[in-house]
Amino acid sequence: MEHIDFSLVDWSRAQFALTALYHWIFVPLTLGLSFIIAIMETFYVKTGNPEWKRITKYWMSIFGINFAIGVATGIILEFEFGTNWSNYSWFVGDIFGAPLAIEGIMAFFMESTFIAVMFFGWNKVSKKFHLLSSWLVAIGSNLSALWILVANAWMQHPVGTTFNPDTARNEMTDFWSVLFSPVAINKFLHTITSGYVLASIFVIGLSAWYILKKREILFAKRSITIAATFGLIASLYLAFTGDGSAKAVAKYQPMKLAAMEGLYHGSENAPLIAIGVLENVENSKEEDFVVDLPIPGGLSFLAFGDWNAYVPGIHELVHGDSLHGIISYKEKINIGKKSIDALAAYTKAKKTGNTDEAQKQLKIFKENYKYFGFGYYFGHDPHELIPPVKLSFYAFHIMVGLGTYFILFFALILFFTVKNKIQDKKFILRLAVWTIPLAYLAQEAGWIVAEVGRQPWVIQDLMPTIAAVSKIDSSNVIITFFLFLAVFTALLIAEIKIMLQQIKKGPEEKLIENSSKK
Amino acid sequence: MFENLSLIALQNYWWFIISVLGASLVFLLFVQGGQTMIYRLGKTETERKMIVNSLGRKWELTFSTLVVFGGAFFASFPLFYSTSFGGAYWVWMIILFVFIIQAVSYEYRTKAHNFLGKKTYETFLFINGFVATIFLGAAVATFFTGSAFSVDKMNLVDLYSGKMPIISSWEKSTYGLEALWDTNQMAFLTNISLGLAVFFLSSLMANMYFINNIDDETLYKRNLVCLKRNTGAFLLFFVFFVVRILMIDGYAVNQETHEVFLQANKYLHNFIDMPFVLIIFLVGVLLVLFGIFKTLFKASKNGIWYSGLGVFLTVLALFFIAGYNNTAYYPSSFDLQSSLTIRNSSSSHYTLTAMSYVSLMVPFVITYIWIVWKAMDKKKITADEVENDSHMY
């Protein structure tokens, strides 16, 4: 398809990636911190101890700074589906739009209504109503994550839907299959728990800084106790859901798994690369490890729970492997093209009233629909359908490596906190501060794996990004890309500067606190 | 319950929900109107603080309503979402940009080390108030005046003609901005007039909101003066818009063939064919004026509620005449048959049914918003509060 404007597709992708990556700097902290704040406020309401109120209010001020910019970047994502992915919006709007609308009705209003009470209601409503509002903000923000992740999971594994040839789009046939798809459940749980982990690390890191500065020791220790307990539970669950995600990827997106592991040639007893450095092989489209630490059978086990299971590599997926029943991409492209052509012929036959021909073409269309999206690559080199391997590999390994480290980190922090020795462990406290940026790195890496690894699909096997864009001159998208970059970067700098100032300032003075609570 | 309704009934129901959300959004745009008057009304820092904090407790509600309006449109009429958002690119992008800069401005404005400075955030709020209202108004006006686009679903399966496989195409290289400056047609004047009418309406609503929400005599007097001016400007542009749409040819749909054709005074006919909509419209306009009258001449502080209900009803009626009674709600001036109607642009029966169950939550949502609003506004904002409370914008 020489007529595809690749500049438009690339810039549209770049803009969406930019927005998503910026948005995801702020969302995980909102997801996790909202619960941590609600737990802290519950302690306050239960005990009546003003120190807990002071702790709650401090973390709430941090939450507010972060929340505002999360909202700012979030609105763009929703509307970019329309502005930059217009074809996609029609092709799947019948399924994708519903979760977005439900997200708005169920979650956004809950968040936006009760957040006003959370920040300004201390002296206006009762203690219990205020506590309820804090919990509803936490639930609302997590609910909003549910619906958008359900939508994202559907793109990775489209279920509960059928293509309607008369309207030329996918239509939902089973809402519950969309909502409770195994990919959706895993994705939701994995993503929100990653937010809890980041927020816990954030709270521990900041509290550690106060201890290092010999300020607010009681405040910091109490904050660490809550965050480390919450974080340890969340990180263990994160590993569990991560395992579930890997198995889902192996089953539904084998190319993504191969890219994540840099696996060019499949095998039984496939190794898991614990650490590796990939380099291009000369005169070849492949890459190979110059350094690697393989765990024999590890990938087979991770993917299928069996150390000897066969895991296909990129080579087998592109060129096919009859022994393992894998169809080549070339064949899939032909099948997809057959399906697209049949749909065109069906529509024409229907227009002219040729019912027999229409029925015949409809049958061909349905039989070949499974690889509909591949048809758009007719005449292209099938290697164009391989996602960026290096980026997927490193992002995956950074995410998993850091995730493992976080479990040990929380265990260590909790151990010293329980022993009441955390304030004496300078190294651990410094480590806690430096773990904050690592938590953000793991978050971004996770999304890179999920979204880069599934390229070129916007909807797995059904719609490639080249057929999903809006038809606008790419110069317009280039301008908006740089406008977004400038605005988001300026706001990020503002956010960080305000946050650092707030951290330096610390919680409210106790004197003010005691007078205001009268 | 909903599964037994016909597709046509569900499509009508969802146009009703979209209209309700659109009408609620226009009412809540008083936040934007208020943002353009921070310096006009507030002469001291304390006064400005009262204004910003009064708006700051409501801005997220407006923001959420906009997001839900977009999400619901996507879910119920996805062809509109793909055609308008992907085509009128710059109109929607500019609206989005001004909402990005709004979202941080309340929280960051008075914070130390806020990088851009207090004035910048206040300017952001002003830009958001001014641009968002005018652009949203103008965008909705194109529901009556039309836009230049084409829709061809066959493009999706066309692998050979050398075209991109994209269904919707915008035919003007200004991607939507032509609605505001295309001097070749009278349409742009109609679009701008609704934009300005929405801007002045949101400003006068803000005046009444401040009168209701802030307990300060000086601000009260200044709001009264502003309210008079904003009302005059609003009436000028609103009357022009209404007269224009009653006079122009509208985009009608043949019920049998589904063909779109131009019909003289279509929107006037819609009012006549649907008298209950005309009543809603007239009651709405009268309520807006009654609220203003009570505020200006009866020293009432509750004018916002009468006018608020009035705004809601008026906008509701405008959405009704744009979409019901065999009317193309998003007409194409380039290719009449590409025009979007409630019938040809909606989601499937199944999805509309599923979504309709979700819509049953709307009264529950409205109830808790109302409860929280009342609880938070029980005590009016005072100079003392904004100067002494620990968390203030």
pLDDT at site A516: 42
Which residues of chain B lie closer than 8 angstroms to A470, CB-CB?
A: 82, 85-87, 89, 166, 168
Contact A378, A335 (CB under 8 A): no
Q: How high is the pLDDT of residue A511?
A: 47
Q: What is the mean pLDDT of residues A163-184?
A: 93
Question: Which is nearest to A141 in space by CA: A95, A185, A99, A195?
Answer: A195
B355: closest chain A residue by CA: A98
Instruction: List residues bridging with A276 in a β-sheet.
Output: A292
Stronger pLDDT, A509 or B160, i.e. the higher one = B160
What confidence score (pLDDT) does residue B184 get? 67
By DSSP bridging, strand A463-464 and strand A457-459 are: antiparallel
Question: Quick one: which of A348, A87, A305, A37 has its CA closest to B83?
Answer: A87
Q: Select from A89, A340, A483 the Cβ nearest to the Cβ of B97.
A: A483
Q: How far is B244 from chain A (nearest CA, A)?
A: 30
SS3 content of chain A, % helix, strand, coil (to 5): 75, 5, 15
Q: Which of B98, B104, B105 is nearest to B66 (CA)?
A: B98
Which residues are paired to B253 by β-bridges?
Answer: B260
Residue A500 to chain B, least CA–CA distance (Å): 9
Beta-carbon separation of A487 and B78 below 8 A: no
Position A514 scores a pLDDT of 44
Q: How far is the C-alpha of B63 from the C-alpha of B128, rounded, in Å?
A: 11
Beta strand pairing status for B149-151 and A457-459? unpaired
DSSP string, B301-317: S-HHHHHHHHHHHHHHH
For residues B256-281, give the mean pLDDT. 96
Nearest residue in chain B measured CA to CA from A480: B93
Where do the structural domains in chain A lie, given as residue ranges? 12-156+472-508, 259-324
* Rounded distance between C-alpha atoms, residue A326 and residue A318, angstroms: 9
Decide if A86 and B164 are in contact by the 8 Å CB cutoff: no
The model's pTM is 0.92
Pairwise CA distance, residues B123 & A180, whole Å? 45
Average pLDDT over residues A210-223: 93
* All residues at 6 or more sequence positions from A442 whose CB lies less than 8 Å from its CB, including other chains: A194, A198, A398, A399, A402, A403, A406
Supply the pLDDT for residue A171: 94
Upstream peptide bond of A182 is cis (omega within 30 degrees of 0) = no
Residue B270: the pLDDT is: 97
Is the confidence at residue A13, as pLDDT, over 80?
A: yes
Mutation target vs A (from B157, B163, B349, B367; most A CBs, 10 A cutoff): B157
Q: Is A307 helix (H, G, I), strand (E, B) or coil?
A: coil
Distances (CA, A) of A173 to A170, A403, B250: 9, 37, 36
Query: In total, how many domains does chain B have?
Result: 1
Nearest chain B residue to A8 by CA: give it.
Answer: B164
Give the per-residue pLDDT at A163: 94
Contact B375 A341 (CB under 8 A): no
Strand partners, B262: B251
In a domain, B177, yes or no: no
Interface test with B, best of A86, A129, A339, A343 (most B CBs within 10 A): A86
Q: Is B378 on the interface with A (CB under 8 A)?
A: yes
Residue A419 has pLDDT above 70, yes or no: yes
- Domain membership of residue B96 (yes or no) is yes
- Within 8 A of A91 by CB-CB distance, chain B residues are 156
d(CA B234, CA B257): 40
Q: A426-430, B143-147, B155-159: which has the minimum mean pLDDT?
A: B155-159
Mean pLDDT of the region A12-28: 95
Q: Cβ A470–B86 below 8 Å, yes or no?
A: yes
Q: Are A397 and A276 in contact (CB under 8 A)?
A: yes
State yes or no: pLDDT of A344 exceeds 80.
Answer: yes
Of A90, A98, A101, the CB nearest to B79: A90
Query: Cβ–Cβ of A76/B168 closer than 8 Å?
Result: no
Of A16-30, A89-103, A213-227, least confident by mean pLDDT is A89-103
A4 with B107: Cβ contact below 8 A: no
Q: What pLDDT is attached to residue A286? A: 81
Where in the sequence is the domain holding B165, given as residue range(s)?
2-172+182-388
- A249: which 2 tokens? 């990827």
> Residues B347, A97: contact at Cβ < 8 Å?
yes
A184, pLDDT greater than 60: yes
Are A168 and B157 an interchain contact pair (Cβ–Cβ within 8 Å)? yes
User: If you average pLDDT over residues B75-101, what whole number do you get?
Assistant: 95
- What single-letter amino acid sits at A168? A
CA A397 to chain centre: 16
* CA distance, residue B236 to nearest chain A CA (Å): 33
**What is the Cα–Cα distance from A62 to A18, expressed in whole angstroms?**
24
For residue B362, give Cα distances in angstroms to A101, A104, A107, B6, B102. Answer: 12, 11, 12, 22, 26
Query: What is the distance, to the nearest Å, from the Cα of residue B310 to the centroid of all Cα atoms in its chain?
Result: 14
Query: Would you call A79 and B347 a contact, using CB atoms and an 8 Å cutoff?
Result: no
Looking at residue A102, its pLDDT comes to 85
Residue the block writes with tokens 């004035």: B119
What's the pLDDT at A510? 62
Q: What is the mean pLDDT of residues B257-276?
A: 96
Q: How confident is the model at residue A473 (pLDDT cuts 50, 70, 90)?
A: very high
User: Closest Cα of chain B to A104: distance in Å?
Assistant: 5
CB-closest option in A89, A112, A501 to B61: A112
Is a pLDDT exceeding 90 seen at residue A40? yes
Kindly list the residues from chain A whose CB atom is less than 8 angstroms away from the CB atom of residue B387: none
pLDDT of residue B353: 95
User: Does the pLDDT value for residue A169 go beyond 80?
Assistant: yes
Asked if B225 and B207 touch (Cβ cutoff 8 Å), the reply is: no
For A425: left if phi > 0, alpha if psi spans -120 to 50, otherwise beta; the answer is beta
Contact A5 B372 (CB under 8 A): no
Instruction: Return the residue of B nearest to A119 by Cα.
Output: B391
Residues 102-141 of B with CB under 8 A from A: 102-104, 106-108, 111-116
